[in-house]
């Protein structure tokens, strides 16, 4: 039974110590980007945050001013998402 022949160039050997950490770093950045996208653009996540915010306000954990500011930010993001969804539906129908 013949063994598999593995071809490794000199460049592969030279850059191996650099390439592996870089690939790991790229993977980590992709994971972070996915988490940020979910945090900022996932409508269910925003609804959950809004509910949590309302609970904190009702329990007295945060004041009215902070509640209004945070609610306004969340509502603004939800509005932007709705507008983007509406625009993509209009653009797709042309």
pLDDT in tens, 32-53: 998 887 777 788 889 999 999 9
Round to whole Å and give the CA distance between 89 and 91: 5
Look at residue 4 and give its three-state secondary structure.
coil
Which residue did the predictor score with more confidence, 73 or 85? Answer: 73
Cα distances (Å, whole numbers) of residue 73 to 40, 77, 80, 88: 11, 6, 11, 23
pLDDT recorded at residue 76: 92
């Amino acid at each position: 039974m013949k063994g598999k022949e593995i071809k490794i160039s000199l460049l592969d050997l030279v850059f191996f110590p650099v390439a592996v950490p870089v690939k790991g770093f790229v993977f980590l950045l992709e994971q972070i980007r996915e988490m940020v996208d979910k945090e900022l653009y996932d409508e269910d996540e925003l609804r959950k945050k809004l509910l949590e915010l309302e609970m904190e306000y009702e329990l007295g954990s945060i004041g009215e001013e902070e509640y209004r500011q945070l609610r306004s930010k969340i509502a603004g993001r939800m509005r932007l998402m709705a507008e983007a969804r509406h625009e993509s539906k209009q653009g797709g129908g042309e």
